[in-house]
């Protein structure tokens, strides 16, 4: 199957099984109508600390006035954006997890019910808890896609029975991988001109593990075998896998800008949620179709070799 055929098969799967949209739509409705979790007090405290540090540094080391002005502009812009962000948007795990657009909507103090996070420690703890819950929801979503791509009827009991295992398998992979990536990112700030090479290495690593969700939920592999399966699929189908990953990313990000323009009204918000759920789920299903088809080819080739 070509990349276009794979995308077509993914969207056709969603069109035949519209129940796949339940979780993305439900999450967006919660992020839209539910309470908003604001970290504005934490951001204000951090900004105050940075500004105090800059003021104490200026006379000591002779920081250029233009540099200080640029820093102030950046801090003000960051504070405006982050202070109006809903921390619960982390439930979607960005483009990796459930297709979601409502989390990108800034908090509106005039209409939204806001819960503020007062301290840095609470913010870190809530981030971790929200991402753990979001990963569990993503495992539910991937499990639904796996059932659909396998051609099975939706089996809620089986899905709920398998999801805790999927969740644990992902944690086994993602916690060590996350620690290593954070350490590498921290190190990249110390190497100066070599930093771009480190960022390329990070992107390369993420590309190699692109099909871990499919390996765990569709092939039902355990962590090490899931990593090996993803590496094998990418290595044996490098250009087509790269093309699919890039194309799904470009489509998702590009249409995300369109949906954000629609979110200025109630009707536009509803249209954006439904459209994003369908297209995002179709793109995710295409990744599952690609993995299933390429894995089947590898298994057939292995059988032929054993029979010779």
Tell me phi and psi for residue 156, to 5 degrees. -65, -40
Instruction: Point out which residues pair with 37 in neighbouring strands.
Output: 115
Task: Look at residue 200 in the predicted model and tell me its pLDDT.
Answer: 84
* 98/26 same-domain check: yes
Q: Is the pLDDT of residue 281 over 70?
A: yes
Mean pLDDT of 228-236: 93
**Same-domain pairing of 62 and 141:** no
- Is residue 55 domain-shared with residue 123, that is, in the same domain? no
Q: What is the pLDDT of residue 250?
A: 92
* Same domain (yes/no): 160, 229: yes
Report the distance separating Cα 68 and Cα 173, nearest Å: 42
Is 70 exceeded by the pLDDT of residue 57?
A: no
Residues 96 and 67 in one domain: no
Tell me: do 181 and 238 sit in the same domain. Answer: yes
* Beta-bridge partner residues of 115: 37
* pLDDT at residue 27, rounded to an integer: 95
Q: Tell me the pTM.
A: 0.86
135 and 60 in one domain?
no
Contact 244, 210 (CB under 8 A): no
- Strand-pair partners of 36: 114
Q: What residues contact 178, with CB distance under 8 A and at least 6 apart?
A: none
Total domain count for the chain?
A: 2
Alpha-helical regions (H) of 36-119: 40-61, 65-83
Q: What is the mean pLDDT of residues 79-85?
A: 77
What is the predicted pLDDT for the residue at 217?
95
Phi-psi region of 60 (alpha: psi -120 to 50; beta: other; left: phi over 0): alpha
Q: Which of 245, 220, 230 is nearest to 298 (CA)?
A: 230
Residue 212 · residue 173 · CB < 8 Å: yes
Distance CA 155, CA 142 (A): 13
CA-angle at 97, arms to 157 and 286, nearest 5° = 85
Predicted pLDDT of residue 42: 85
**Is residue 64's pLDDT more than 90?**
no
What does the pLDDT read at residue 282? 95
pLDDT at 198: 80
**Residue 237 DSSP code:** T
Residue 195 and residue 49 share a domain: no
Q: What is the pLDDT of residues 130-178, one digit of tens each?
A: 999 999 999 999 999 999 999 888 999 999 999 999 999 999 998 888 8
Q: Which residue has the higher pLDDT, 162 or 120?
A: 162
Query: Which range (58-72, 213-227, 240-254) has the least confidence?
Result: 58-72
Domain end, chosen from 50, 84, 118, is at 84
Are residues 136 and 228 both part of a single domain?
yes
What is the model's pLDDT at position 269? Answer: 93
What are the distances in angstroms from CA 157 to CA 154, 163, 217?
9, 10, 15
Residues 71, 178, single domain; the answer is no
- Do β-strands 114-116 and 36-38 pair in parallel, antiparallel, or remain unpaired? parallel
User: Are 204 and 293 members of one domain?
Assistant: yes
Please check whether residues 192 and 75 belong to one and the same domain: no
Contact by Cβ (8 Å): 14, 285 = yes
Q: Give the domain extent around 71.
A: 40-84
Using CA atoms, how far apart are residues 221 and 59, in angstroms rounded to an integer? Answer: 59
């Amino acid at each position: 199957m070509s990349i276009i055929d794979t995308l077509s098969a993914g969207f056709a799967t969603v069109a035949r099984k519209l129940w796949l949209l339940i979780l993305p739509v439900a999450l967006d409705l919660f992020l839209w109508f539910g309470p908003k979790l604001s970290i504005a007090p934490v951001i204000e405290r951090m900004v105050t600390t940075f500004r105090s540090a800059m003021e104490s540094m200026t006379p000591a080391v002779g920081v250029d006035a233009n540099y200080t002005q640029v820093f102030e502009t950046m801090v003000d812009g960051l504070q405006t954006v982050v202070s109006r962000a809903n921390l619960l948007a982390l439930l979607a795990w960005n483009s990796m997890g459930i297709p979601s657009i409502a989390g990108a909507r800034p908090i509106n103090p005039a209409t939204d019910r806001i819960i503020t996070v007062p301290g840095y420690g609470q913010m870190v703890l809530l981030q971790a808890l929200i991402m753990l819950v979001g990963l569990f929801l993503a495992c539910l979503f991937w499990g639904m896609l796996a059932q659909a791509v396998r051609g099975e009827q939706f089996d809620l009991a089986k899905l709920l029975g398998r999801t805790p295992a999927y969740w644990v398998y992902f944690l086994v992979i993602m916690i060590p991988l996350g620690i290593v990536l954070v350490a590498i990112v921290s190190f990249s700030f110390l190497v100066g001109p070599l930093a771009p090479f480190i960022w390329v290495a990070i992107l390369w690593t993420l590309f190699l593990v692109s099909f871990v969700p499919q390996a765990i939920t569709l092939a039902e592999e355990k962590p090490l075998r899931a990593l090996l399966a993803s590496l094998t699929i990418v290595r044996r189908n490098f250009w087509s896998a790269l093309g699919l990953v890039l194309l799904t990313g470009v489509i998702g990000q590009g249409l995300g800008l369109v949906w954000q323009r629609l979110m200025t009204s109630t009707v536009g918000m509803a249209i954006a949620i439904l459209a994003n759920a369908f297209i995002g789920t179709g793109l995710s299903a295409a990744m599952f179709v690609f993995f299933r088809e390429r894995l089947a080819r590898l298994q057939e080739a292995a059988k032929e070799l054993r029979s010779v």
